[in-house]
Amino acid sequence: MSLPYGLRLLCLCCASFFMIHLALAVAARLSAGTAVRMAERLKPSSAARLLFAVRMLPWTLTLFAVLAFCIPSYLWLEPEATGEKVGFVCFLTALLGAAIWALAIVRVVSAVRGTARYLHRCERHGEKITMPGETGPALLLKDRSPVLAVAGVVHPRLVISRRVMRGLTTEQIDAALSHERAHRSSGDNLKRFLMLLAPDVLPFMRGFVTLERSWAKAIEWAADDQASAGDPRRALSLADALVRVARMGNKPQLSYLTSSLMADDHDLSERVDRLLRPQPIPDKPAKELIPLVSGAAALMAASLMIVTLWPASLSMVHQALEQLIH
């Protein structure tokens, strides 16, 4: 198949992304069990950062490789011929690369539209109220479902149902609101957005379910810890709030870009147990996180230095691309 200059570049970018991402994603998938076990030895906030970094690393490094090497080498060394044939392997891998990107974009668009529609319904059928500690108005719903969540990515809105307001004491509401503020200050909805945007290993194959579930569990524990702030009375109030909201039943269907007080009732007993009987967990973020983050940063910096100080390195990349395209 013969393609013009621009389409060949697009084809090479998609093919290169798929092949590099596949290798890195498989490596991350194989190390997921080790990362989860490592996270269990950290406090929840550090565990969440570690798991998020492992999840995002294949996508980040692959995107960097394509932008820093593949595109510059092609634009610099590839002549603008009228057309050149693209081999079957290159075309197939390019289709797979385009497919994983298309599916990721569809997921993101669906989640953003679902969240926007949900907030629009809340604004239409609810009322704006002022909550203690909130800089902006919260949305009070008449819905019988027990809702207490922050929804949205750029400007997360606090949403609470009248049933929750009436069913909890002042201390319990204060602890629950602190839990939601912890999600907002940590940018958990933005991280959910980025994980949706990160492509899969293969089309229609979610290869990082273990990492994502462990991360979701860690952020709930981290928000619980930040809300209780080491105070046994606040921890008791939050635990009581969790149990009371769980007993209200009628769990609402919320968007993925929403952080709720009761994100997953399967973890309820463990969360309550942690709040009532907190166990000190040794936190060693320097030993666990620094090698991962500094290693990725050093790799990117070294790659940029190689391109800057040794431009001929791009010709090696171009030769590899030539082998791929034919």
Q: What is the spatial distance between Cα 167 and Cα 308, in angstroms, rounded to a whole number?
A: 63
Q: Domain for residue 108, yes or no?
A: yes
Q: What is the spatial distance between Cα 81 and Cα 74, in angstroms, rounded to a whole number?
A: 12
Q: Which amino acid is at 152?
A: G
Residue 290: predicted pLDDT: 53
Taking residues 85-110, report their average pLDDT. 89
Tell me how many domains the chain contains: 1
Q: Domain for residue 114, yes or no?
A: yes
Q: Domain for residue 203, yes or no?
A: yes
Contact between 11 and 94 (Cβ < 8 Å): yes
pTM for the model: 0.84
Question: Is the predicted pLDDT of residue 296 greater than 70, yes or no?
Answer: no
In this prediction, residue 286 has a pLDDT band, given cuts at 50, 70 and 90, of very low
In this prediction, residue 309 has a pLDDT band, given cuts at 50, 70 and 90, of very low
In this prediction, residue 180 has a pLDDT band, given cuts at 50, 70 and 90, of very high
Q: What is the spatial distance between Cα 176 and Cα 320, in angstroms, rounded to a whole number?
A: 55
- H helices of the chain, in order, are 5-30, 32-39, 44-65, 71-77, 88-125, 162-167, 170-186, 188-197, 209-228, 232-247, 268-276, 285-309, 313-325
Which of 45-49, 137-141, 201-205 shows the lowest per-residue confidence on average (mean pLDDT)?
A: 201-205
Distances (CA, A) of 77 to 12, 66, 80: 14, 15, 9
Q: Domain for residue 125, yes or no?
A: yes
**Helices 268-276 + 209-228 axis angle, to 10:** 30
User: Which residues have C-beta within 8 Å of that of residue 53, sequence separation ≥ 6?
Assistant: 289, 292, 293
**Helices 88-125 + 313-325 axis angle, to 10:** 100
Q: What does the block give as tokens for 60? A: 């980040």
Residue 13: predicted pLDDT: 87
Q: What is the spatial distance between Cα 294 and Cα 300, in angstroms, rounded to a whole number?
A: 10
Residue 172: predicted pLDDT: 94
Q: What is the spatial distance between Cα 118 and Cα 198, in angstroms, rounded to a whole number?
A: 24
Residue 91: predicted pLDDT: 85
Neighbours of 283 (CB within 10 A): 15
Side-chain half-sphere CA neighbours of 211 within 13 A: 23
Taking residues 296-304, report their average pLDDT. 55
Q: Which of 67, 137, 142 is nearest to 317 (CA)?
A: 67
Q: Domain for residue 284, yes or no?
A: no
Q: Domain for residue 218, yes or no?
A: yes
* Cα-Cα end-to-end distance for the chain: 10
Q: Domain for residue 226, yes or no?
A: yes
Which residue range(s) make up the domain with 40?
A: 2-278+289-325
Share of the chain above pLDDT 70, in %: 80
Which of 145-149, 170-174, 278-282 shows the lowest per-residue confidence on average (mean pLDDT)?
A: 278-282
Q: Domain for residue 283, yes or no?
A: no
